[in-house]
A and B are shown apart, each in its own frame.
Chain A
Amino acid sequence: MKNYKYLLVGLVFGIVFIKAEIVSWFRIQEMFRFDSFHMYGVIGTAILVGIISVQLIKRFNLRSIEGEKIELPDKNFSYGQIFGGFIFGLGWALTGACPGPLYALIGSGFTIIIITLIFAILGTYVYGILSDLLP
């Protein structure tokens, strides 16, 4: 039962994804062509709100509603951030979608994106098989 609250948060996210057109291939094209501020505004504002929230949580040592201490582990450098990041970028511009929008696009009726999601999961699987061989 306790997992349903995450479904609710996701639900709000899904509505915003569609209504702010973040899932639109056209909006991503605008962004990579520097023709519109829209996506920069979305991501920039989200980062700003995120930074303020995280700093407040740290400053006041907030706990989760279940009383758990909120811990934010540091991210370590790996070459994956460079090579994997670049490959993801290629895919982002091709599909016009990062992983979240894939789910939202399927929900909004673009059933063809089921194929894209299947291939994204396949890509994840292939990475998992090769992970020991990659830097």
Chain B
Amino acid sequence: MLELLRQPWHWSIAGIVIGLIVPALLILGNKKFGISSSMKHACAACLPGKFAFFDYDWKKEIWNLYFVVGILIGAVIAATYLADPNDIVIAERTKLALINLGVTDFTTLLPADIFSWDSLKTSKGWIFIAVGGFFVGFGTRWADGCTSGHSIMGIANLQWPSLLATVFFFAGGLVMTHLLLPLIL
């Protein structure tokens, strides 16, 4: 059993479990599935300045912070007890394209060439690690939701603005992957 759990899980299992988080949160307490809000609450709780956007009672939304702390602990458990000893297996075409762009490490979930403390010595590292993060935070807040809030929760509730947001999430990803990454890497 443990052997089975250690292998990479099939997409259908992951999809069903993630899909079930939507009704689980609704039934547990009328909460809407969403993750990027946690970063907004973090700003409201910690960062200085009186801005209307962060002027709300973040303590009422504290469930969302428990939720993301849970994600972090779950990942600790998965990495500690359920780690897959084998290298990650990815599509050959993607691997070749990335090798051509200069990526050399294909052992774990992230390429160590890009995502390591050492790469903060290079401007390339800062673009991936810091600028990328900034775009994620700025973009999700402007869009008022991320992959969970829009692409899953919003579309599950048949909201067309969420579908629109998802189309543009994807458009941005395609432009970055096919037009900009070759220039950055």
Contacts and interface: CB of A to CB of B under 8 A. Distances in A.
Interface of A: 2-33, 35-39, 41-51, 53-54, 56-57, 62, 64-66, 68-72, 74-78, 80-100, 102-113, 115-129, 131-132, 134
A57 B23 contact: yes
A53 B39 contact: no
A107 B71 contact: yes
Give the dominant DSSP class at B's interface. Answer: helix
| Residue of A19, A23, A54 most packed against chain B (CB within 10 A) | A19
Given A19-B9, A109-B79, A121-B42, A134 B142 contact: yes
A84 B109 CA distance: 27
B140 to A, nearest CB: 5
Contacts of A53: 19-20, 22-23, 26, 156
Interface of B: 5, 8-33, 35-36, 38-40, 42-43, 47, 49, 51-54, 62-64, 66-79, 82, 88, 90-91, 93-94, 97-98, 106, 109-111, 114-117, 119-120, 127-148, 150-162, 164-178, 180-181, 184
Give the dominant DSSP class at A's interface. Answer: helix
Nearest to A77: B161
B161 A75 contact: yes
A110 to B, nearest CB: 6
B98 A29 contact: yes
Given A41-B11, A85-B143, A23 B161 contact: no
Contact of A36 (B47, B94, B136, B168): B94
B169 A85 contact: yes
A6 to B, nearest CB: 4
A110 B110 contact: yes
Contact of A9 (B25, B42, B178): B25
B170 A14 contact: no
Given A49-B20, A85-B164, A128 B35 contact: no
